[in-house]
Structure 1
Amino acid sequence: MSKAPASSRRSLPLLLMQTRETVMGYFRPLLREHGVSEQQWRVIRALKAQGPMETTKLADLCSLHGPSLSGMLTRMEAAALISRSRLIEDQRKFRIALLPRAEALFEAMREGMEAQYREIEARLGAEELEQLYAVLDATIARLGGLQEPVDED
């Protein structure tokens, strides 16, 4: 079996980005309806799934750059969605936690999010969706990415 020349291979990064955009198309209307950005939702979901955590871990789990996350956390704190407190053991670091307003927002969006996951599963089929999750998890693990996936809610 011969390998395809590099010039004729599909672009994996581009294909993954196109897939992400297609999938996010199912969720963006609900995010807009509730006035939440995709990045803010990733932060809320990560904190809901794993509880309060240090900023660097949150940035890693949410695939956000530190400076971007810092500005967003400032806005989320001003909107009473999260709290930031300095770690006792290292005053340079912060612990981020959800506030009741973000908890209520998560609950208000839960049914709509679950409906979108059901729609995706209906279009792909349960078995294919599980295979997709497995392939993506294995790809991340084998290529040295995140060690702790954030559960979908």
Structure 2
Amino acid sequence: MSPIRDMLSETGITEQQWRTLRVLGEFGRMDTKTLADRSSLLFPSMTRIVATMLKKGLVTQTQGTDDRRRRYVEITSHGQRIIDDYAPQAASIAESYKRVLGEQDYETLLDLLTKLDPGAQT
């Protein structure tokens, strides 16, 4: 995680915020519970993370129309710009892991990590 942490130190966001932005960038607007599951974060943590990200202008949050208790989160252009600006560097870091592990071991690692995260299997 050290290379990722070094990269993120330039952005002013945390690893959890990066994961949240990546999920929102890939899947679009979603409710907070689904976002927590897809980001592999606990729901109470996601609530705090979203509050911080709202203050930074990285996401917006709206209330559900059918269920007013449900909150939906969406990435802002500022948040998307961070993902776009740092995606090549993140991809380069992932490629370096592949070089060290080899393609097969890298894929095995991803499969094993997915097994540890029940939310990722849905």
> What is the TM-score normalised by the length of structure 2?
0.90
Structure 2 unaligned residues grouped into runs of 5+: none
Deviation at 1:72, TM superposition (A): 1.8
Instruction: Give 1:87's aligned residue.
Output: 64
Deviation at 1:135, TM superposition (A): 3.3
Distance 1:121 1:87 in 2: 41
Instruction: Give 2:107's aligned residue.
Output: 130
The match for 2:26 among 49, 69, 78 is 49
**C-alpha distance after superposition, 1:24-60 (max 9, x if no partner):** 1221100111111011011101111111100011111
Matched, 1:99 2:72: no
| Greater than 3 Å deviation, 4+ residue runs | none
The match for 1:119 among 86, 92, 96 is 96
Q: Aligned-residue CA RMSD in angstroms?
A: 1.7
**C-alpha distance after superposition, 1:86-132 (max 9, x if no partner):** 01010001110000000101011111101101111110111211122
> What is the TM-score normalised by the length of structure 1?
0.73
Distance 1:76 1:64 in 2: 15
| Matched ranges for 1:3-152 at <5 A | 24-137=1-114, 139-140=115-116, 145-148=118-121
Distance 1:28 1:84 in 2: 27
Distance 1:66 1:134 in 2: 24
Q: Measured at CA, do residues 67 and 132 of structure 1 come closer, stay the same or move farther in structure 2, by a change above 3 Å? A: closer
Which amino acid in structure 2 is aligned with residue 69 of structure 1? M
Percent of residue pairs bearing the same amino acid type: 25
Count of residues in correspondence between the two structures: 122
